[in-house]
Structure 1
Amino acid sequence: MKQSLEFLGFIALVQGALGLVHEFTDWHIGLVQRLGFLDGYGVYASVALVVLAFAMFAVAESRGSG
């Protein structure tokens, strides 16, 4: 469970960072800009993904090795 939370947290962190890079540099990378319902809310969605990633890391760390 801990490894899956860490993996999902890593994916969320990477996608959030790539979404922020896309919003500020117009590079066409990441998943956030490809989702039509997030049009105009890319920065908020990317920040939410980064926060979600840190929350997943915290939960994984509190679970311990089990």
Structure 2
Amino acid sequence: MTSSTQKSPVAAVSGLLCFVLVVGGASGLLHEWFGWIRFMGFVRFLAPEGYETYSYVVMVVLGLAVGVAGDAISRHRRV
């Protein structure tokens, strides 16, 4: 494996954080709207009571932003 194909630690962490936020937020939204089982139940501790839906939407948007930023950082380092 060459150094150009290896992921930087920042890109790996941002990818993991992106996954947790997007999947956790989407899981929370599905639970709030349809009562389905929570896939990542620990994210409910991040949502204040009474503002769960807004919190899960913010988690999804923030997760997507972190993923885009991590991708931009990894592309910038490759050049």
Partner of 1:31: 42
In 2, are the aligned partners of 1:6 and 1:57 still within 8 Å (CA)? yes
> Higher RCO, 1 or 2 (CA under 8 Å, sep at least 6)?
1
Structure 1's consecutive aligned runs of 4 or more residues displaced over 4 angstroms after TM superposition are none
The residue identity in structure 1 corresponding to 2:21 is A
Query: Greater helix percent: which structure?
Result: 1
In 1, are the aligned partners of 2:28 and 2:56 still within 8 Å (CA)? yes
Aligned-pair identity in percent equals: 31
Q: Which runs of 5+ in 1 are unaligned?
A: none
**How far does residue 37 in structure 1 lie from its aligned partner after superposition?**
6.3
The size of the alignment, in residue pairs, is 65
Equivalent of residue 56 in structure 1, options 58, 62, 66: 66
Output one character per residue of 1:8-36: Cα deviation in whole Å (capped at 9) or x when no partner. 11000111001100111122413344x38
Q: Which runs of 5+ in 2 are unaligned?
A: 1-9
Report the RMSD for the aligned CA atoms in angstroms: 1.9
Tell me the TM-score normalised to structure 1 length. Answer: 0.83
Residues in 2 aligned to 1:37 and 1:60: alpha-carbon distance in whole angstroms:
24
Structure having the higher Rg: 2
